[in-house]
A and B are shown apart, each in its own frame.
Chain A
Amino acid sequence: MPERNFSYHRFIYTLLGVGFLVFSGFVYTQAVPENNHVISPKAVAGKMLWQQHNCSSCHQLYGLGGYLGPDLTNTLSTKGKGKNYAAAIMKNGTQVMPNFHLNDTEIEALLAFLEQADKSGNNRVHSYEIGLDGTITSEGETRK
Chain B
Amino acid sequence: MKRNSATIFIATALAVFLLGMFFGLLAAAQYVMPGLWRDTLPFTKLRPLHVSMVVFWLLLGASGCVYYFLGTEKLLKRRTRKWILLHYGLVCFVAVGSAIAYFSGNFGGREYWEFPPYLAIPLVLAWVVFLGVFWRSVYGTMKRWPVYYWMWLTGIVFFIFSLAESYLWLLPYFGDDLVRDMAVQWKSYGAIVGSWNQLIYGAAFFLMAKISGDNSFAFSRKTYFFWFLGLTNLMFNWGHHIYALPVSPYIKHTAYLISMTELLIFGKILWEWKRSVSEMRQFFYQMPYRFLAAADVWIFLNLGVAILMSIPALNLHTHGTHVTVAHAMGTTIGINSMILLALAFYIFGQVFGALSPKNMMKAKVGYWLSNGSLLVFWLALMGAGLTNAWYQWYEPEMPHALLMQKLVPFFAVFIFAGIFLFIGFALIVFPLLQQFFSGKKADTETKNIPPFEILEPSKKQAYANEYA
Binding site for B on A (CB under 8 A): 1-3, 6, 9, 12-13, 16, 19-20, 23-24, 26-28, 30-33, 36-37, 39, 44, 47, 50-58, 60-71, 93, 95-99, 113, 116-117, 120-121, 123-126, 128, 130-131, 134-138, 141-143
Interchain nearest-CB distance for A11 vs B (Å): 13
Instruction: Give the chain A neighbours of B252 by CB distance below 8 A.
Output: 135
Interchain nearest-CB distance for A121 vs B (Å): 4
Q: Which of B38-46, B281-289, B342-350 contacts A (4 or more CB under 8 A)?
A: B38-46
Tell yes or no: B457 within 8 A of A by CB: no
Tell yes or no: B109 within 8 A of A by CB: yes
Q: Which of B269-277, B318-326, B364-372 contacts A (4 or more CB under 8 A)?
A: B318-326
Instruction: Give the chain A neighbours of B375 by CB distance below 8 A.
Output: none
Contact A33 B320 (CB under 8 A): no
Bound CA span A95–B248, Å: 39
Bound CA span A125–B187, Å: 23
Contact A12 B228 (CB under 8 A): yes
A-facing residues in B377-435 (Cβ within 8 Å): 392-393, 396, 400, 404
Known contacts A98-B38, A135-B256, A138-B244: does B251 contact A31 (CB below 8 Å)? Answer: yes
* Most chain B CB inside 10 Å of its own CB: which residue of A26, A55, A62: A62
Tell yes or no: B441 within 8 A of A by CB: no
Q: Which of B27-35, B68-76, B118-126, B205-213 contacts A (4 or more CB under 8 A)?
A: B27-35
A-facing residues in B200-259 (Cβ within 8 Å): 219, 224, 228, 231-232, 235-236, 241-254, 256
Contact A125 B179 (CB under 8 A): no
Tell yes or no: B83 within 8 A of A by CB: no
Interchain nearest-CB distance for A108 vs B (Å): 18
* Most chain A CB inside 10 Å of its own CB: which residue of B30, B174, B180, B183: B180
Q: Of A28, A37, A58, which is within 8 A of B43 by CB?
A: A58
Interchain nearest-CB distance for B169 vs A (Å): 9
Bound CA span A24–B319, Å: 24
Tell yes or no: B300 within 8 A of A by CB: no
Bound CA span A142–B247, Å: 9
Binding site for A on B (CB under 8 A): 30-31, 34-35, 38-39, 42-45, 47-48, 107-111, 114, 142-145, 147, 150, 165, 168, 172, 174-180, 182-184, 186-187, 219, 224, 228, 231-232, 235-236, 241-254, 256, 311-317, 319-322, 325, 392-393, 396, 400, 404
Bound CA span A116–B178, Å: 8
Query: Closest residue to B393 on the A side, CB-wise?
Result: A125
Contact A143 B246 (CB under 8 A): yes
Q: Of B174, B219, B311, which is within 8 A of A134 by CB?
A: B311
Contact A23 B254 (CB under 8 A): yes
Known contacts A3-B143, A32-B179: does B35 contact A62 (CB below 8 Å)? Answer: no
Given A30-B250, A39-B176, 15 further pairs, Cβ under 8 A: A3-B144, A27-B251, A33-B179, A44-B172, A54-B45, A54-B107, A62-B182, A67-B321, A68-B43, A96-B35, A97-B38, A98-B42, A134-B311, A136-B313, A143-B248
